Amino acid sequence: MELGLEVSERNGTTVLSVRGEVDVYTAPRLREKLVELVSEGRYNLVVDLEAVDFLDSTGLGVLVGGLKRLRSHDGDLSLVCTQHRILKVFEITGLTKVFAIHDSVDAAVAS
Amino acid sequence: MATWAITAFIELEIPARAEFVGLVRLVVSSLASARRSLADDRIDDLKLAVSEACTNAIEAHAEVDVDERVLVRCREDEDRLEVSVEDRGPGFDPHELPEHPPVTDPERLNFERGLGIPLIRTLVDEVRFDPSEQGTAVHLVMYCGPADLDLFDDVY
């Protein structure tokens, strides 16, 4: 199963673009990448979920863990997502109130 | 077209390993799409619920280190699609799940797990947990209109 993780910089903010399916099999790779970025001192992250086809509670858990880690460094993790089926998972679990979710990477970086 | 004397029944046995959950999703969503009476967003709901149930099953096996398979049964009836996921784990009480702090509480970030079962409950029309000493069976049901199973016409 494919999970794409691509890191880029946009106006001093680190953008992690995730592609494919995030589940119990692939979520550990996402966790490792988030840990790696934090250990490099990148404390303001935007995670772009626009190319994600599937995200389950394991993926949500990894994002919650990432946010916690960044907050402990006075940083933040915001999300980019406009796909209804992915947003729905955040809505059901109430996590739309925990994460700032933006319509585009530009909007996330500007906030 | 065939009348509904037949119930389509598919069984899938997977090793209790994370890399097989994607395969189960694929089978269940293909079956649900073939039925053509379940809207795409409901197929997504079923896919996610099945994925959560399989994840729990695999984690339950890992917890007690059993090397047995997880059994997934899909059963189509005239008005419903039922998927059961059976594990050989230690079992659990679905009513005794730990509660998360409210999402507005900073403590909420200390909980990365425990979202699977609340998700399942929201996504499907009916859910039943049957824990026993042999393991747990989770039954997920989606109500839908009569199936339009042209793909079985050649067979029957």
Tell the CATH topology of B8-152: Heat Shock Protein 90 (3.30.565)
Q: How far is B150 from chain A (nearest CA, A)?
A: 28
As a whole number, the mean pLDDT across chain B is 83
Q: Where are the domains of chain B?
A: 8-152
- Nearest beta carbon to residue B51 from set A56, A85, A95: A56
Chain A CA closest to residue B51: A56
pLDDT for B119 beyond 90: yes
Q: Decide: B51 and B98 in contact? Cβ < 8 Å.
A: no
pLDDT band at B155 (very low <50, low <70, confident <90, very high): very low
Under CATH, domain A3-110 is a member of which superfamily?
A: STAS domain (3.30.750.24)
Best to test chain B binding among A3, A23, A30 (most B CBs inside 10 Å): A23
Chain B residues with CB under 8 Å of A23 CB are 18, 21-22, 25, 51, 55
Q: What's the rounded mean pLDDT across residues A30-50?
A: 97
User: pLDDT tens, A61-72?
Assistant: 999 999 999 999
- Three-class secondary structure assignment of B18-49: HHHHHHHHHHHHHHHHHHCCCCHHHHHHHHHH
Which of A94-103, B119-128, B137-146 shows the lowest per-residue confidence on average (mean pLDDT)?
B137-146
Burial class of residue B75 in the structure, from the number of CB atoms within 10 Å of its CB (0-12 exposed, 13-18 middle, 19+ buried): middle
Interchain contact, B51 vs A23, CB within 8 Å: yes
Give the DSSP letter string of chain A.
--EEEEEEEETTEEEEEEEEEESTTTHHHHHHHHHHHHHTT--EEEEEEEEEEEE-HHHHHHHHHHHHHHHTTT-EEEEE---HHHHHHHHHTTGGGTS-EESSHHHHHH-
User: pLDDT tens, B101-118?
Assistant: 777 777 777 777 778 888
ipTM: 0.92
Q: Where are the domains of chain A?
A: 3-110
Tokens of B112: 């990365």
Counting Cα atoms < 13 Å in the Cβ hemisphere of B26 gives: 7
User: pLDDT tens, B24-33?
Assistant: 999 999 999 8
A2 in B contact zone (CB under 8 Å): no
Chain A CA closest to residue B22: A1
A97 in B contact zone (CB under 8 Å): yes
Give pLDDT, residue B48: 97
The phi, psi pair for B86, rounded to 5°, reads -115, 130
Rounded to an integer, what distance in angstroms lies between the CA atom of residue B40 and that of residue B25? 14
- Nearest beta carbon to residue B103 from set A57, A65, A95: A95
Rounded to an integer, what distance in angstroms lies between the CA atom of residue B108 and that of residue A64? 9
